[in-house]
Amino acid sequence: MSLPNPSKGWRSSSSRLLALYSFLFVAWSCILMGVLYYEVSDYLGNLARHSLMQRQHLFARFEGEQLDEALATSMTFDMRAVDAYGLFDQQHKPLSGPIQSIPQGLPLDGQIHALSSCIDSDDPNLPQDSCDAVATQTQDGRWLVLVRDNGSLFAVTRIILHALIWGLSLTIIPGIAGWHLLRRRPLQRIRSIQASAEAIVAGDLTYRLPLSNRRDELDMLAAIVNAMLDRIELLMHEVKGVCDNIAHDLRTPLTRLRAQLYRMRQQAVEGSAEALQLDEVIGETDTLMARFRGLLRISELEDHQRRSGFLQLDPLPLLQELYDFYLPLAEEGQVTLTLETPAALPGLTGDRALLFEALANLLSNSIKFTPPGGEVILRATDDNGSPRIEVLDTGPGIPEAERVAVFQRFYRVDDKHGGFGLGLSIVAAIVSLHGFSLEVNNRESGGAWLTLHCRQSLINPG
């Protein structure tokens, strides 16, 4: 059993919370910036229009040469490319001022209008962008056009906008850096906890979750889990000790009982009712002793001290030996046994005798459950740098609802083929000891498909 990897990137809880906070902060900052920009723009727009209206009222008091002098004097104080004027006769021909033509789209109604394109001229000293403009008729019948560029007045809004953008960016950058630092430390601790948890899941209850000196929430949770593991380990040792003691203590009297029964059988008359009864009792005694041996074998395998005998080995000779060993049994049952291996396989770390025992259990079960005329395939492939060993048959297969239960002690799919229901339990103990994984499926054409993944993904044995 493998544990899920810690969440990465935006999937971790800290990342999502920080992202939500950043989103809300940016959203409120944008709203603030928009409101401030709107208020300032509206205020400066009203101010520009009011100023242009004052200029219009001021020049409306003059006429003739006084108007010409007032307009010429105003050019001295006005900002170039911001304020401009043009004086036209009744036929709209230019008389004075930098504006030589009435802007297109400007009504001659004496009202202030906003123009998106102000003056079409190559003169850089004239307002070119959006502006407020008014065309009014003077007392002597001429037309006066006054223009005020909005761009220069709205430079204040641009300054405010730039300041807000800089402030927002200078907030986001430290926020991203903080997000990275804040999420990295918890993930490091989670990975450390996961490494210990995987060793515990693999069956080594001596491991405990690591604790830091901060005594934060993760440490509180780890301490609670460690207390639970202490109690579970104690109970498991007690239960295991009781079972082992029962199996071990009963093995000796059962051996003596069988020896006594065998002597009685030797003394009984061949073919008598007494001899037949003694044969049945001896058979039941052998069955009981075999079950106790299986239980002790599983208990021995679940003791992870067996890893001290692990070596680096080549699986190809092991598979060839299995094939040669079970080929006569397959031929006796009229089953075709096939070995499919590549020229070379990656090595693996393990106990050769135990791996032979586990694969022998799988292979013998497939041969036993495959009807005459069927086929059993022992196949090995390279699975990204680690061996993958498969046993396929054309038997009845394993129902999906029973694919987990078959590894439980004394569980049997059916009673037709005998057995004690301990073979696959021994296989599961050997697989767990090595840190491998065993996958149980059925072939599409029918039959079981057992896959042993020899990638030590949980812990490093030894």
Cβ proximity of 338 and 366 under 8 Å = no
- Would you state the pLDDT for residue 438? 86
- Would you state the pLDDT for residue 131? 81
Average pLDDT for residues 138-150, to the nearest whole number?
A: 83
Q: Which fold has domain 60-153?
A: Beta-Lactamase (3.30.450)
- Would you state the pLDDT for residue 219? 82
Residue 112 has pLDDT above 60, yes or no: yes
**Residue 295 to residue 301: CA distance in whole angstroms:** 10
Q: Lowest mean pLDDT of 116-120, 293-297, 339-343, name the range.
A: 293-297
Nearest to 427 by CA among 374, 328, 380, 358: 358
Q: What letter would DSSP give residue 409?
A: T
Residue 161 has pLDDT above 50, yes or no: yes
**Residue 67 to residue 400: CA distance in whole angstroms:** 102
Give the number of other CB atoms < 10 A from CB of residue 447.
Answer: 21
Nearest to 251 by CA among 285, 280, 299, 298: 285
Q: How confident is the model at residue 196 (pLDDT cuts 50, 70, 90)?
A: confident
- What residues have CB less than 8 Å from 205, skipping those under 6 apart? 229, 232, 233, 236
Highest mean pLDDT among 42-51, 193-202, 243-252, 443-452: 443-452
- What residues have CB less than 8 Å from 168, skipping those under 6 apart? 26, 29, 30, 33
- Would you state the pLDDT for residue 390? 92
- What residues have CB less than 8 Å from 293, skipping those under 6 apart? 251
Q: How confident is the model at residue 192 (pLDDT cuts 50, 70, 90)?
A: confident
Cβ proximity of 304 and 434 under 8 Å = no
Cβ proximity of 82 and 130 under 8 Å = no
Q: How confident is the model at residue 182 (pLDDT cuts 50, 70, 90)?
A: low
Tell me the sheet residues that pair with 85.
146
Average pLDDT for residues 160-174, to the nearest whole number?
A: 73
Residue 34 has pLDDT above 80, yes or no: no
Cβ proximity of 282 and 255 under 8 Å = no
- Would you state the pLDDT for residue 462? 39
In whole angstroms, what separates CA 185 from the centre of its chain? 17
Give the number of other CB atoms < 10 A from CB of residue 133.
Answer: 25
Residue 447 has pLDDT above 70, yes or no: yes
Give the number of other CB atoms < 10 A from CB of residue 132.
Answer: 22
Average pLDDT for residues 347-367, to the nearest whole number?
A: 85
Residue % of the chain over a pLDDT of 70: 75
**What values do phi and psi take at 212, rounded to 5?**
-105, 180
Provide the whole-model pTM. 0.44
Cβ proximity of 315 and 345 under 8 Å = yes
- Would you state the pLDDT for residue 210? 85
**Residue 207 to residue 212: CA distance in whole angstroms:** 16
- Would you state the pLDDT for residue 378? 92
Tell me the sheet residues that pair with 387.
382
User: How far is the CA of 38 from the CAs of 24, 30, 34, 45, 157, in angstroms?
Assistant: 21, 12, 6, 10, 9
For 368-380, write each residue's pLDDT tens digit.
888 899 999 999 9
Cβ proximity of 338 and 391 under 8 Å = no
Residue 316 has pLDDT above 50, yes or no: yes
Highest mean pLDDT among 2-16, 178-192, 201-215, 222-236: 222-236
Task: Name the residue with tokens 């890893």.
Answer: 307
**Where in the chain are the domains?**
9-38+156-201, 60-153, 238-302, 305-453
Cβ proximity of 141 and 108 under 8 Å = no
Is the CATH number of domain 305-453 3.20.20.80? no
Average pLDDT for residues 174-199, to the nearest whole number?
A: 74
Residue 420 has pLDDT above 50, yes or no: no
Average pLDDT for residues 327-341, to the nearest whole number?
A: 90
Residue 337 has pLDDT above 80, yes or no: yes
Residue type for 188, please? Q
Residue % of the chain over a pLDDT of 90: 6
Cβ proximity of 390 and 452 under 8 Å = yes
Average pLDDT for residues 176-196, to the nearest whole number?
A: 74
Cβ proximity of 103 and 133 under 8 Å = yes
DSSP string, 72-125: HHHHHHSPTTTEEEEEE-TT--EEESS--SPPTT--SSS--EEESS----S-TT
- Would you state the pLDDT for residue 301? 59
Q: Lowest mean pLDDT of 29-43, 82-96, 241-255, name the range.
A: 241-255
Helix, strand or coil, per DSSP, at residue 288: helix
Question: Considering Cα of 209, then 210, then 213, then 214, what sign does the dihedral take?
Answer: negative
Average pLDDT for residues 83-102, to the nearest whole number?
A: 84
Nearest to 276 by CA among 288, 268, 284, 287: 268
Residue 253 has pLDDT above 50, yes or no: yes
- What average pLDDT is seen over the chain? 77
Residue 1 has pLDDT above 50, yes or no: no
Cβ proximity of 432 and 203 under 8 Å = yes
Q: How confident is the model at residue 336 (pLDDT cuts 50, 70, 90)?
A: very high
Residue 339 has pLDDT above 50, yes or no: yes
- Which has the higher per-residue pLDDT, 16 or 399? 399
**Residue 309 to residue 433: CA distance in whole angstroms:** 12
Q: Lowest mean pLDDT of 114-128, 251-265, 308-322, 334-348, name the range.
A: 114-128
Tell me the sheet residues that pair with 376.
337, 393
**Residue 112 to residue 109: CA distance in whole angstroms:** 9
**Residue 420 to residue 409: CA distance in whole angstroms:** 9
